[in-house]
Each structure stands twice: as structure tokens, then as C-alpha cells.
Structure 1
């Protein structure tokens, strides 16, 4: 639990919502993912609600494969706006909401990332955040002159050095380096310039960064992923971790593990926030909430549903969707496939029922505002989360419901702010101010 007793809440805004059938919902504009106004409207709603940040995950390619044939043409996740460009535009139209976007360490260079996010931090007055990821898909490798993507160890080794170089570049200039004295003709104080001169296994970067130190000292660093190497990067350098726990016991274990790694890097528990993803279906009654969930489940195209099962159970398109999951089904991820088969047998699931379970996304809460806040409060107070990243099933409807029903309940219990505490993302997250060299 955060030291001020308040949850941190971000809004994940990629695509049209986090349910795979969101684009087919009657209240969702099917072309919204390439419409600036669509995203700006949601960002302004999030800011009016005093949420901490908006968050854009990203991939640098269409990562889905067309299996079974025809499934890719039914997938809305193949046309979107580049997130840093989008956030720069949103930043000019908002004043307090944090602006976080993913950028890969696999297919970028440290100088590019340092410069772009420093610029976003200046443009927004101190609201930028970088979500650090490695790229893992074959489809992304093909877009960058590679036949194969980098292996696990190389990806994370590169990512660790990449983050170190970016931090050095952000520290190229002390806070008061640029004195801009017209009378003496001195633009910057030479002793306050620090050229990185980095030479490592993956990068050789002289620097300095051609940007002044940013309003936050440096943009907030976010990390997403539960891999061992990723956890070490988070403990060493991240301010926020976007996690994906499904139950409180695994969330508590993850939380304790990450917080326990901080000491060896000279950091304290309050310097890293852990914010699991959460999708909510809320209604004034439990039945109303369930109806919202069921409506989306019915919109899942059968080929899209079968595509969700393909990587673990193989091609089931030749079988009766309302019949049992066949014993002969096998797929490239055999351990997960075996687990799905065991569940299908135990619960007597049809193929359609199984793909609906798999297709509905990450951790979900379905119920009244009191039901949902009970769960959120338990996670927050019992060492499982410092807050949450809201992943609405649909936008803007999922956000509207959260603001109208769940936020009042959170505030009634004293769990979420009524006003922003700072003009910067770092300040609103309750993170310590950064001194030069931190």
C-alpha cells in the first residue's frame, strides 16, 4: 500500500478496448484506433477523473498470424497510431494526466529513445513515461531486416544496457546548466555538462543528449513483464511495474519478490509502484454487470476464437464448435495446451466455451461497484498492488462506467484522490523527486 493511503490508477488505452470483440460493440467506433479525437476524448475524461496516467502498449508490427485462415481479417489490432506521436498531441491538449508509451529496446537505439521521451517531458511540462519492453515476435523481426527475433538472453542483456545508456543521456545536463546569459554571451555552464562516453557490449554512445534536463529530472520509467531478467531491470531502474497477476496469492508473491530486490540497488520499497492490469464490468446490479460481459462474449467471431486456441491446441476449425474439445488436439505450446485440455474435460466445455474463456482477456472483475472495490481494496491493503492499470473492455464505455460507478466508491472509502497533488507524473504517483545523478 502506498504511504499516503491512496491507490494509483492508470488507464490503458490501446486499440478500442481490451476485449477482442470491442470493435464490434454498437457503442464503439470501429475506426477509432486511427482517430486522434477518439483518444483525446478518453484522455480528457481520465484527466477530469484525476487518474494518474494514460498508457499505450505498442508493437512494431502486426503480430497475429492468419491461423486458422481468415482469422486475421477479423482482428481489429492491425491499424493504429504510433503512440509517441499520439501522446505529444494529447499532451498539448491536456495539463495533468501522465503520458506513458511503450518503446522497444530491441529495434530502437538509446539516443532516439532518450531524445524523444525528453522532448515529450518538456512538451507536457513533466508528464512523460517510457514503458520498457523487448520485442519477441517473428513478425516484428521481419520488419527490421531480420529473419529471426533476438533470443531471450540477448534481448534482455541488450535491454539492461539500453536503459543504462538512456539514463546517462538524460543526465547529460544538470538542472541549471543552461544559464543563457545574454550579457556575457554564455549559453551554458561548461562544468554542468556531463558527456556519457558510454562503451559497452551492445552500444557505443558518446552523447551528450541535445536536450536540457527535463521537468521531472527524467521521464518516469515503466516496465512490463514478469521474466526473471525483466524483474532485475525493474528493480534496478523502473519507477512503475505494469504486472499481469490473476489471483491475489501470485500477486502477493510477485509484489514481495520485486520489492525485495530493491535493496541491492540502493532503493527503497516506496521507489517502485506495482500496478496490475484490471478489466472491470460494473453495473448497478450484478446481473447488469454480467449482461455487459455476456454481450461482448457473444460478439466473438468463431474464427477469432479459434485463433486464440491455435497456438496451444492447433487448428480446431474442422470440428463442431458446440461439441467437446477433441482429444487429438495438440499445439506448439504443449504444457499450456495440456492444461486447457484438462480444464475442458473437467468442466465438460465445448470448443466455443473454451475459446470464450481464453478470448476474454486478462484479470476481470464483474459485479457492482461495491463488489469490485472490495476486491481492489483487498489487493491494495494486503501487499498485492500499489494501484491498478485499468484495461477497459471497450472504450469509451468501460472508462465511463468506471468513472460513474467505481470511482465514487473508491473515494467514499478514502482510497483515491479528488484532486491532483502535482503538475508532474512523478509527483502525482507519489515518487521521490529526482536529484541530478540519481
Structure 2
């Protein structure tokens, strides 16, 4: 019996997920582009798309370094570009790979995030997603200076409202609101723009958006979940849920707690280096062994995997040139992209019905 193909993507952050990825990259290539350059990200995206990967994610946070520490460690990479803007830089130089940047929901406004991700969906022709993330630390709150940090329950209650507002703003223009009728001189049909009139504990947003409805209607929303409040948030708000299992038993447990498209995160180091901390399981074996693990976990019911290269310059090419061919020979991964496929279609998500158009026609 043929197995259903798995989804495969990569999580990109800086020079890689190893704390010393920057040194290893620059030792091998002193001319390597800085992580704030478009060239750096375009090269990574081109490699990932060469491997026919479903998607890539671009990490981001309100801190200059990975982790939650306030003090900057001079031995680690510091400084990051805005992930949504990076994704917009990547979009014109790729054709098929899904683009899922992180955008933080704490201390920010849903109006801004909604139009940024909608714009990314337009420039990528329906390949946009968004990984929502909270900011729980006092020093990140102090950097904004608007309020003190929220507690855990409030953080995720606010995050759920934030995603709800963003989704409503995406629907605030109907698909055919822009008519550009030269004969009548009407550019837009005002009857197809809608106030969302959202009032909640954290936001009061009238709308509509200033950006027309994205090509996908609803770009794909993702969340990384590794604790109970986040599982609840992800089940309610996300289309994709990234989880961090450590073995088959934890895969089964997570599949019992998380709904929808569940994607397992793994850090991969084909140099065999697993001596560093990570929230996700670190795999430090050979490509064939990684594929055996992926196939086994896929058989348990996972939709797919997001691999985090320990060092982008060395581990990403191995994913593309060795791991993907193994999966193709096993009949679990595509041998070409489907022309014009949106990211929603790639994950088997239904077409998104505009809630306001549906209400207006009833």
C-alpha cells in the first residue's frame, strides 16, 4: 500500500541553529554574506527550492540573539533582520517554495501584521504563511516601553485574539472588491469592503484593512507548540503546528494533544555535533539514518517535518542533495513542484471562505 507523501521544510535562522554556526561558516568561507544581506537569504532559499522543499521558515524575535537572555553574549551571533521583510526579499527570486516568516504578536499590532503578510502573499503569488510567536520576557517589554510583561495565560489569550483580528482583516475585502472598471470610473466596489468591528479584552479594531484580500484568502498560520497553553492556542488558531518530539512515544502523545497538520521539528547536524542545547531533538547521524527516523515517525501520523540545519552552509545542502533523494526513492516526496500551487493547497487546507461575503449573501 502506497504511503502518503510527507511535507518537508527547513527552519532558517542566521547561519544555523548551532551556537557557533557563524564561526564555522566564516572559517570555511571568510567572504560569506552577513545575515542582514539579501544575498545571504536568497542563496539559502535557492538551495531549499532546489530540493523541492514545501516551505521554509524564517526565525525572528524581539531579542537580538536566540533565546530569552537579556545580556548579549559576545561569542554568539547578534543582530537579525526583520523576517517578514526578508521573506519579501526572497519571494521574487523563488517560484514555488512556501515562505513562512515569524512575526511576534506581543507588543505589536494585528493591523500591521495582517497587511504585511497579505503583501507577502501578493508578491509570492500565494505562497505566504505566518508563524505567530509571543514575547514573554520583561526586557523585551522594556525595549518597547508600552507595558509590563503579561503572564502566560494572558499572553496566549492575547495571541488568540491577535490571530483572530488578523484573519478578520484578511477577510475585510471580498475577493472581487477591486473592479478597475474604466467605463464607469469605479476602481473599487465599496459594498465589498467590510468593517470587522472587533472588540475584545486586548484589541478594539474597526477595520477594514488597507490591503485587499490576499491571493490565498487566508495565508497559512503556523505556531510552535511545546507546552499546554501553546497547544491550546495552536489548536484554536493555527493551520500548521510545529512540535518538538524526542521519540516515538512523544510523537504519539503529541498527536493526541494537537490537531491538524502536525509538523515535527528536528535539528540536524551531519557533522555529528550534538553537544549543544536545543528545544528540539538534535539528530547527529547519517542522512540514511535520518530518513529512516522520518519515515518511522511519518507512519505514526505526523504530516511532515521541519529540519533545522545546525550550520546552514553545510547541513542544508545535505538535506537537499541526500535526504530528499532518499525520500523520493521511498515514494514519500515529490519529484517536481505543481505549477501554481498555493501553500494552502500544498498542505491540503480547504479554500478559505470569506466570512463577510458569506454573511452578506445570506
Normalising by the residue count of structure 1, what TM-score does the alignment of the two structures yield?
0.75
Distance (whole Å) between structure 1 residues aligned to residue 28 and residue 141 of structure 2: 36
Equivalence for 2:268: 280
Consecutive unaligned residues in structure 1, runs of 5 or more: 260-271, 283-291, 298-355
- How far has the Cα of 1:150 moved from its partner? 1.6
Equivalence for 1:423: 341
> Which of residues 260, 272, 279 is equivalent to 1:293?
272
Equivalence for 1:380: 298
Equivalence for 2:19: 20
Confirm or deny: 8 A CA contact 2:33 2:39 kept in the other structure: no
Confirm or deny: 8 A CA contact 1:28 1:395 kept in the other structure: no
1:9-88 correspondence to structure 2 within 5 Å: 9-25=8-24, 26-27=27-28, 32-62=34-64, 63-66=68-71, 72-76=73-77, 78-88=78-88
Q: Report the number of matched residues.
A: 348
1:2-401 correspondence to structure 2 within 5 Å: 5-25=4-24, 26-27=27-28, 32-62=34-64, 63-66=68-71, 72-76=73-77, 78-145=78-145, 148-259=148-259, 272-282=260-270, 292-294=271-273, 356=275, 358-359=276-277, 362-383=280-301, 385-401=302-318
Distance (whole Å) between structure 2 residues aligned to residue 409 and residue 386 of structure 1: 18
- What RMSD, in angstroms, separates the aligned Cα atoms of the two structures? 2.1
Larger proportion of strand: 2
Distance (whole Å) between structure 2 residues aligned to residue 141 and residue 360 of structure 1: 24
- How far has the Cα of 1:50 moved from its partner? 1.0
Confirm or deny: 8 A CA contact 2:225 2:234 kept in the other structure: no
Who wins on radius of gyration, i.e. which is larger? 1
Confirm or deny: 8 A CA contact 1:61 1:143 kept in the other structure: no
Q: More deviation in 174-183 or 427-436? A: 427-436
Distance (whole Å) between structure 1 residues aligned to residue 256 and residue 313 of structure 2: 34
The change in CA–CA distance for 1:362 and 1:28 in structure 2 (over 3 A counts) is farther
The change in CA–CA distance for 1:28 and 1:430 in structure 2 (over 3 A counts) is farther
Distance (whole Å) between structure 1 residues aligned to residue 304 and residue 49 of structure 2: 17
Distance (whole Å) between structure 2 residues aligned to residue 195 and residue 28 of structure 1: 53
- How far has the Cα of 1:24 moved from its partner? 1.6
- How far has the Cα of 1:227 moved from its partner? 3.0
Distance (whole Å) between structure 2 residues aligned to residue 360 and residue 159 of structure 1: 24
- How far has the Cα of 1:27 moved from its partner? 2.9
The change in CA–CA distance for 1:32 and 1:257 in structure 2 (over 3 A counts) is same
The change in CA–CA distance for 1:24 and 1:366 in structure 2 (over 3 A counts) is same
- How far has the Cα of 1:58 moved from its partner? 1.0
Confirm or deny: 8 A CA contact 1:19 1:361 kept in the other structure: no
Larger proportion of helix: 1
- How far has the Cα of 1:123 moved from its partner? 1.1
